[in-house]
Amino acid sequence: MSFATDIKNEVSDLILSKSESIAELSGFIRNNARFSKDLIELNTENMNVCKKMYLLLKKIYGIDPKIVTTINQAFNKNNIYWIKIEDKVDLILKDLCVCDENYHDLDVVSEYLVDDDSLKKAYIRGAFCAKGSINDPKTSRYHLEFLFDKKYESVFVQRLLNNFDLNAKILLRDTKYMVYIKEAEKISDFLKIIGASKAVLYYENIRAFREQKNITNRLNNCEQANIEKIIETANKQIKDIELIKDMVGLDLLDEKTQEAAQYRIKYPEVSLQELSEIITIETGKTITKSGLNHRFRKIRSIAKNLLDNNKNN
């Protein structure tokens, strides 16, 4: 069972007011219905969504729709649940802003259907049950989408979503219009908006785990990079010291610089900070990282001069 299916199952159990029920039905039927003046046909692969829409239609309009089950032969062989409405067809289509008097699709939803936040949420929930999906955060990237047939519906749903600051965007995909959200925090907010509280807990737990894992990976990568940098710097210092030793001997160096060179040879893999602490402990003379770095710059300068002089000669 997919994460999106779990969400639709959960929101199908919500108890709604009559006005919320009408808004949710509108969001579902406007994006799902095949209709004529005598028949409305709705379909879904989710049995709980089918049951929810059936009960809402029965409760609000006093009708008894037929439910027919078929098998999706073209794709995943899942059951498809059809709701067939033959009573009060005209009333339902007009009441839910599905079509006009000539049975042409309405591209505008009456303001009364979505005139407060609870009704906007209900419409979004209905549209999601019809055309929405969310990737499972445990197995894939963060992604929420609605895939609409009509541009006007994608624009309308985007406006509803962005009424809640969800930063929804529209993308043309083949002949359909995808309204999508990719920000993890916004997807979590969407789940709260449609009332999927269990899904929010699951989503947030997975998101927290993934973020902690990403932080750990970044820290490990950073630590590895620091180790490589320390080793590279130490190797360059040792190379300079060996060059001076081979060409003129370390006696050329002053006492403090000789000391730094000897300790670097003795501890070739420690950082400059660690080396300064070791020298301080072993000699009883305080040397800072900055002071030690100054001595190695002097060694680098002497080594460079020796190389340049050697090339000139």
Cα atoms found within 13 Å of the Cα of residue 153, Cβ hemisphere only: 28
pLDDT tens profile 113-162: 999 999 999 999 999 999 999 999 887 788 999 999 999 999 999 999 99
| SS3 state at 272 | helix
> Residue 254: which region, alpha, beta or left (left: phi > 0; alpha: psi -120 to 50)?
beta
Q: For the chain, what's the residue count?
A: 313
At residue 73 the predicted structure's pLDDT band, cuts being 50, 70 and 90, is: low
pLDDT tens profile 32-63: 989 988 999 999 999 999 999 999 999 999 99
Is residue 206 pLDDT above 90, yes or no?
no
User: CB-based contacts of 237: which residues, under 8 Å, 6+ apart?
Assistant: 264, 296, 299, 300
Average pLDDT over residues 97-122: 90
Helix (H, G, I), strand (E, B) or coil at 76: coil
For 149-190, give the DSSP string: S-HHHHHHHHHHHHTTT---EEEEETTEEEEEE--HHHHHHH
CATH 3.10.28.10 fits 3-195, yes or no: yes
3-state secondary structure of 143: coil
33, containing H or E segment:
none
Q: Which residues pair with 288 in a beta bridge?
A: none
Asked if 20 contacts 28 with a C-beta cutoff of 8 angstroms, the reply is: no
Task: Tell which wins on pLDDT, 220 or 149.
Answer: 149
Is it the case that residue 75 has pLDDT exceeding 70?
no
DSSP readout, 179-222?
Answer: EEE--HHHHHHHHHHTT-HHHHHHHHHHHHHHHHHHHHHHHHHH
Specify the pLDDT at position 313: 64
In the chain, residues under CATH classification 3.10.28.10 are 3-195
